[in-house]
Amino acid sequence: MSNPFWPEDGVSLRGEALDRLLMWCSEQDASRIQLQTDKPIVMKVHGLNRTITREALLPGIVEDAINYMFRDSTAVTHLRQSRALDLSHTIWPDRRARRYSFRINAVPTLVGPEQAVGITIRPLVDIPRPLAEQNVEPRVLEALEGDNGMYLVCGATGSGKTTLLGGINRKRLEDPDCHMDLVEGSAPLELLYDLVPAVNSTVMQTEIPRGLPTFAEFIRAAMRQEPTDIVVGEIRDPETVVAAIQAAISGHRLLSSLHTFDCASTVRRIAALCPADQRDSLTISFVENLRVIVNQRLLRSTDGRRTPIREFLPVSRAFRDRLLDADPKHWPELTRKAVETSGQSFEQSIRSAHREGRITEAVAAAAIRQEL
């Protein structure tokens, strides 16, 4: 690489210059951009970090950046009060050309002994990537065909959960036989669907807390909109898990994501997030409405990029009955066994990716060792 740095390196990163940097990073296929006080800017491309500015960022530049993306000079005040900021940022310089969307997380940090600001910026796709380009297994596609219940897409940060969620929704929106009315509440919104040709379907998206203050309020509003599909961007706390389960038991199709390692840990995580005084009733409702769990990871692929591997479990009526007849403390073990007999484990997915030539033998061997 003859010049690894941003072509405008040295320009003060304020306002439109920051936007130009972010657009350039997005065009380099960056999945993550980090701005931090007294540090140069680093972006990650296909899992590898790359420093793109020579000089460290001055405190005022970083503070101006978060204020600019927050669209309010109070952003730094929030950080100084020990509050993290989650927000979205969109750049659309030409309405006839590409739009650039980003998810922003800003937190107070330390660089050595000094107070600092850290900003993580994740470029988002302008239009969700179709499932046909995501190596989605036919059995997963079949399990996603239902009209009600909970459909969970899980994995670590950066594992492609959002990409898969977007592909699932895009497929339904583009299907002329699917008359879908989708409402989404996310904090913040990571995907936009206005450029998807929704043939006979509608989409309404709300950002939490910018549009509505809480997920509970979003669910209450959603129930008055007669949706077919409800998307809760991420289940991350008790309030959200309650809202998600309420959406599922109302007879709708509920699509959401969690940060979990595998299918068994997904079941355990949902139970742990349920408030103690409602845990019994909520976990029963969760099991009765669960339709599929998909856990995804990304591995280095033979083309130098990354490719998905998946553990998944289509949840049958018989398996739901088996869980409901068992003590909840045994649910993770029952789920692990069901994955082996009725779904697909990560080890099976790794071996399949190797057979298909998507990953090398060395990558496959290292990934399988982690499963042992």
Instruction: Give the ranges where the chain is alpha helix by DSSP (H).
Output: 16-27, 59-70, 75-80, 138-143, 161-174, 215-223, 238-249, 263-273, 279-289, 317-325, 331-342, 346-355, 361-371
Which among 50, 41, 33 is positioned nearest to 8, based on CA atoms?
Answer: 41
Contact 215, 208 (CB under 8 A): yes
At 60, list the tokens.
């005022």
SS3 state of residue 168:
helix
Give the pTM.
0.84
Higher pLDDT, 331 or 112: 331
Torsion of CA 82, 88, 92, 95, to 10 degrees: -150
Instruction: Give the ranges where 224-262 is alpha helix by DSSP (H).
Output: 238-249
Widest Cα–Cα separation across the chain: 65
CA 318 remoteness from chain centre: 30
Q: Thinking of the domain 131-371, which architecture would CATH place it in?
A: 3-Layer(aba) Sandwich (3.40)
pLDDT bracket for residue 97 (50, 70, 90): confident
- Taking CA atoms, 70 is separated from 32, 102, 221, in Å, by 18, 12, 26
Residue 247 CB-density burial (10 A; 0-12 exposed, 13-18 middle, 19+ buried): buried
Q: Do you find a cis peptide bond into 128, omega within 30 degrees of 0?
A: no
The model's pLDDT over 225-266, given as tens digits with 9 standing for 90+, comes to 999 999 998 898 998 899 889 888 888 999 999 999 999 999
Q: For 16-124, which CATH class?
A: alpha beta
pLDDT at residue 38 tops 90: yes
Contact 75, 106 (CB under 8 A): yes
The model's pLDDT over 150-209, given as tens digits with 9 standing for 90+, comes to 999 999 988 999 999 999 999 999 999 999 999 999 887 888 898 899 889 999 999 888
At 247, list the tokens.
């959406």
pLDDT at residue 267 tops 70: yes
Angle ∠(119,121,126) on CA atoms, nearest 5? 160
Averaged pLDDT for residues 44-61: 94
pLDDT at residue 76 tops 70: yes
The domain ranges of the chain are: 16-124, 131-371
